[in-house]
Structure formats: C-alpha cells, structure tokens
Amino acid sequence: MSIVKNILNIKKKINDTQLIVVTKKQSLDNIEKAYSSGERNFGENRVNELIVKKALLPNNIKWHMIGHLQTNKVRSIASFIHLIHSVDRLKLLNEINKCGKLENRIINCLIQVKIAEENTKHGFSEKESIELLNSNYKEKYPYVNIKGVMGMATLTNNTNIIESEFKRLKRIYDHTKQMKILSMGMSNDYQIACKAGSNMIRIGSAIFK
Ligand SMILES: *Cc1c(COP(=O)(O)O)cnc(C)c1O
C-alpha cells in the first residue's frame, strides 16, 4: 500500500479527528508524499531532526513537537513550533514561557499526562495535571497557551487497559476548563482513542509502513 492510500484509509475511520503525521526517521521523499496528499500537520520527537526537516520542506507545514523535550532545546523551536504536545514538567513549562517571551510569541502547549502503568512514559500524574490546570498558570506563564492534554496508553494488546487509560485522560480533559485539544491515539490504538473522545491522533508507522 502507498503512503497516500494509508492516509486515506486512516482518515475514513476517524471522522473529524485531526491527524498529525509523525515523520520521525522518515525520508524527505516519504514526507513529501504525505504533504502532496494534503497533510500539513507533521510531528517529530527530536528537535535536531525537526529543524533539519523544517529547513528542507515547504514552510506552510505546521510542526508539532511530540517527544521528550530538553530545556536547552526549547529556544531553537520557540519561534515557529505550532504545538508542543510533550510538556511533562514545570521546569519545561517555565523554559517555554521564557523562550516565548524572548520571541514575543505565545507558544501553544499540551500537558502530557502519564496515563500508562509503565514507568518509562513521561508526564505529570493525574493529580499534578489537574492541580496545574486549575491553578493560576496563565499569570505565571503568560507566554504559554495550554490548549489541552496529551497521553500515551500502555503498549499492550489488552484493549480494555488501553480503553480505560484513554477514558481517564478524557475525564481530565473534561474536568478542566477551556481545553480544546485531546491528543491521544497512535498507530496501534487510534481507533480506541477516537471512540474515547480523542480529537487529535499522532500516526507514524500505520502511514509509513
Ligand atoms: C512515534 C510516536 C508516535 C507515533 O507512533 P506510531 O506507533 O508510529 O504511530 C506518536 N506519539 C509519540 C509521542 C511518538 O513518539
């Protein structure tokens, strides 16, 4: 199957959910195929790779940072990044705010919530997320616009576990005011995520297979 067909197939199943094409480790050739089919929202999990690709690809692409982000890398994406999905600690939020101020640009972010059981996944706990989102963070971080939450489910074939984790994230999303983006769902679990209320999915391998 082709990249274009894979995208069409996925889009048929997700209604109005926003698709983020995860281009990590992909060649420019492959990414251009996704671009030519009309996709404009691309996600990367490494800053260096993101910057190289951005320089070589059309400049109307909206770039999403979806992976763990080191504070010393924020400055290099602050002027253009469309959305940072992976805000997983206060120190990072603080740094994004600082870089936003330097650029005089309000940076769109999602709070990454740890919904999986695995210890390897980054993110705020459920309790920490709710505390943050109900706090006066807008005064403290005026150059950050928290638009919603992001989460990754446990890597398992047990759909019950995945479903309950996504439902937990949906509850956090519903519980906090003025949230617009619920970023959850990857190649293996996006249909479960959409059923649970996701409005943004991040898909790599199901497109570039
Ligand atoms: C790689 C990655 C994805 C996409 O994963 P696939 O299983 O290839 O669809 C989504 N989100 C994050 C944070 C990733 O690192």
181/61 Cα distance (integer angstroms): 19
For residue 184, tell me if it sits in a domain.
Answer: yes
Q: Which atom of ligand 1 is nearest to the CA of 67?
A: 13
Residue 19 lies in a domain: yes
What is the residue-wise DSSP string for 47-73?
HHHHHHHHHHS-TT-EEEE-S---GGG
How far apart CA 85 and CA 109 sit, in angstroms, is 6
Indicate if ligand 1 lies below 6 Å from the C-beta of 206.
yes
Relative to the CA of 186, which ligand 1 atom is closest?
9
Q: What pTM was estimated for this model as a whole?
A: 0.97
CA of 45 to the centre of ligand 1 (A): 8
Task: Please name which of 156, 153, 154 lies closest in space to residue 194, comparing C-alpha atoms.
Answer: 153
CB distance 186 to ligand 1 below 6 Å = yes
Surface-to-core class of residue 99, CB atoms within 10 Å of its CB (0-12 exposed, 13-18 middle, 19+ buried): buried
The answer to whether residue 208 sits within a structural domain is no
Assess if residue 65 is contained within a domain. Answer: yes
**Is the CB–ligand 1 distance for residue 109 below 6 Å?**
no
Q: What per-residue confidence (pLDDT) applies to 118? A: 78
Q: Is residue 146 part of a domain?
A: yes
Q: From ligand 1's centre to the CA of 139, what distance in Å?
A: 32
Total count of residues recorded for the chain: 209
Q: Is 112 in the pocket of ligand 1 (CB under 6 A)?
A: no
Cβ–ligand 1 contact at 194 (below 6 Å)? no
CATH of the domain at 70: 3.20.20.10
pLDDT at 178: 86
Which pLDDT score, from 0 to 100, does residue 196 have? 98
* CA 183 vs CA 6, 146, 151, 157, 199: distances in Å: 20, 12, 7, 20, 6
- Residue 178 falls inside a structural domain: yes
On whether residue 209 sits in a domain, the answer given is no
Question: What atom of ligand 1 comes closest to residue 66's alpha carbon?
Answer: 13
Name the residue range of residue 86's domain: 3-203
For 40, other C-beta atoms within 10 Å of its C-beta total: 14
Q: Is residue 85 part of a domain?
A: yes
- The answer to whether the CB of 130 is under 6 A from ligand 1 is no
pLDDT per residue rounded down to tens, the chain (209 residues): 699 999 999 999 999 999 999 999 999 999 999 999 999 999 999 999 999 999 999 999 999 999 999 999 999 999 999 999 999 999 999 999 999 999 999 999 999 999 998 777 799 999 999 999 999 999 999 999 999 999 999 999 999 999 999 999 999 999 988 899 999 999 999 999 999 999 999 999 999 99
Look at ligand 1, atom 11, and give the residue with the nearest C-alpha. Answer: 202
Domain count for the chain: 1
Tokens linked to 183: 């970023």
Q: pLDDT per residue over 68-117, tens digit each?
A: 999 999 999 999 999 999 999 999 999 999 999 999 999 999 999 999 98
